[in-house]
Every structure is written in structure tokens, then in C-alpha cells.
Structure 1
Amino acid sequence: MVNIGIENYEVKQLDLSKGRAAQIHLETIISQGNETEKHVFDEAGKVVQMNSSYYIRFQETYESGVIPVTVKIDPSGIVTLTRKGETTTRMRFDKGERFETLYHTPQGEVKIETMTKNMQISYTDEPFSGRVYIEYDLFLGKEKLGDYKLQLLFTI
């Protein structure tokens, strides 16, 4: 297992430039006040490597439809999560860092911020798989909206 924060990791035996089918498991735990929600997605997706970054693409399936999701893992350890649906978000994560972004809704744009408290990225060979774990706070202005935990597992 290799942690991306320690060294640049590339899959030598696999050509991921055109992408490979992958099984995706995503868990998100949201704590707001005294309430906690858990969302779990097990989806088919794709892993692509471009310019030393990995892109994990899949769709979250809901009763009301699907939302395309892309997770970009940069070799420097920055993770970008993009969801494009009726509402669109593009959140960035880097341990100990705060990032501002726009949350696009049908009613307009809202400025939100992520503050990454903990982040771990690791890869394993044979079969190639990865794990991204992020703990972060979400803010609307100075107001904290909640504590979030996100775990993404992917296997080719």
C-alpha cells in the first residue's frame, strides 16, 4: 500500500490513459447538530490516468435520477470532487486547508467552504485499487453546516 502524500504513485503495469472499468464504493456520513445521515453508493465506474492524476468517474443513483460524479486525485495529494446535476458542486480537499467554492443551484450560486481535517489516500496493486478518506467541515460564510466523512473505494 502506498500513501500518495509520501510519494508519487503510478501504475506501471496498467495503461489507464483510456480508462478501465472499476467498481466504486462511496460512503458519506453527514453530522449536522444531533442528526446523522449516511449515504452509500455501490456503482460501476471508470478510472482514468491523465498527466499523473487519477480520475474516478461514476454516477450516484437516486430514485429521482442519476448524478455524474468525478473525483480527481492530484499527485500532490489534492482531491477534487465534482457533482453535476440539478445542483453542481466542485469541492477541493487538502489536509489542513480551507477552500472556497460555488454551489450552483437552480435559485443561483451560493459560496461555501470546505475545511479538511483529515485526509488519507492509498493505492494497492493486483488488482489495482485505491482508497480516499476525507473528514471535512462545510461552511456557509462563518456558519458551520456540518461535519462530513467521505470514503471512496475503487477497484479495477
Structure 2
Amino acid sequence: MENNSLDVNVELNMEISQAGELTHTKIFEPGMLTRVGNSTYLRFNEKLDNDEQAKILLKIADNGEIHLKRVAESTNLASLLYFTNQDHNSGHIETEYGIMPLQTFTRDSQVEILDRPLSGKINIDYDLIYDNNIVGNYKFRLIFKA
């Protein structure tokens, strides 16, 4: 698997609208792009407070489905979300108190990966749903370059 891995630079911009408040997050980190079969994996870290970090793994399947896994060991939080354009998907967040089921509704998703030069864009607009209630609207904009 490591033979198919390439170093990339990742820029992630997130816009989150929750309870009438809008938040923006920007991440600039080195990452690793790996291709296994027909799937592409992108790994990078998100810096948290107190020199801690969350590990991010993004899987892009050949059918266009996107899986987003985020693990922050220092805060005992882990999430796994799935995105399929114009569809609902089940996911979850793991806390020290147990597993909480979540759903996503992907309003729009676009993936573009170029081989020469290696670069790509992953855009996901989605609603995060808990107990049949929308708890937030998200705009996920990721760009990577070798």
C-alpha cells in the first residue's frame, strides 16, 4: 500500500451553520494520498488546542461515495460520516459516553482528481441530522496538491 502513497499539501475550508451561528475553519497541513484498487485515500491531521491533533481519513470510492473519518484521541471523540450526492446516509460519533447515531443528507458533492500534476478538489455540502432534526449545515472544501 505504501508504494502507491504520495505526499500532498492539504487545504481544508469548512463553513458550519449551527443554531443561527456561522463558523469558519481553515486547515493547511501536509498529507498522504494513497490509491488502493479503485479507491483513493487522503490522510492528514487537524491541529487542535494544546498541541493535540485529530487524524482525518477521507476515502473516495469509485462510485463517488465519500467516507470521512475523524479521530481525536485527546478528546475521546471519533466520527464516521458517509456522503452520497443527493442521498441520506447513516454514520455515527463515538464519545466517552457511547455511540451516537447521525445521518447526513448530501445536498451536493463534487470530486475532481488530476494525475498530472497530482491535485484535486473535494466539495461536499451537507446537512448533519440527529434524531430526525438538522443540527447543522456544512460546506466542506478541500484542495490538495503534490
**Residue in structure 1 matching 2:137, options 144, 147, 153:** 147
Runs (5+) with no aligned partner, structure 2: none
In terms of fraction of residues, the more helix-rich structure is 2
For 2:107 and 2:101, the matched residues in 1 are separated by 20
TM-score, normalising length: structure 2? 0.92
Equivalences, count: 142
Contact (CA 8 Å) 1:122, 1:132: kept in 2 or not? Answer: yes
- The answer to whether structure 1 residue 68 and structure 2 residue 55 are counterparts is yes
- Residue 47 of structure 1: SS of its match in structure 2? strand
CA offset at residue 68 of structure 1?
0.6
In terms of fraction of residues, the more strand-rich structure is 2
Q: What is the letter of the counterpart of residue 105 of structure 1?
A: T
* Cα RMSD (Å): 1.5
CA offset at residue 127 of structure 1?
1.5
- The answer to whether structure 1 residue 34 and structure 2 residue 24 are counterparts is no
For 2:99 and 2:115, the matched residues in 1 are separated by 41
**Residue in structure 2 matching 1:133, options 99, 123, 132:** 123
2:10 corresponds in structure 1 to 24
1:57-136 mapped onto 2 (5 Å cutoff)? 57-64=43-50, 65-85=52-72, 86-136=76-126
Runs (5+) with no aligned partner, structure 1: 1-15
TM-score, normalising length: structure 1? 0.86
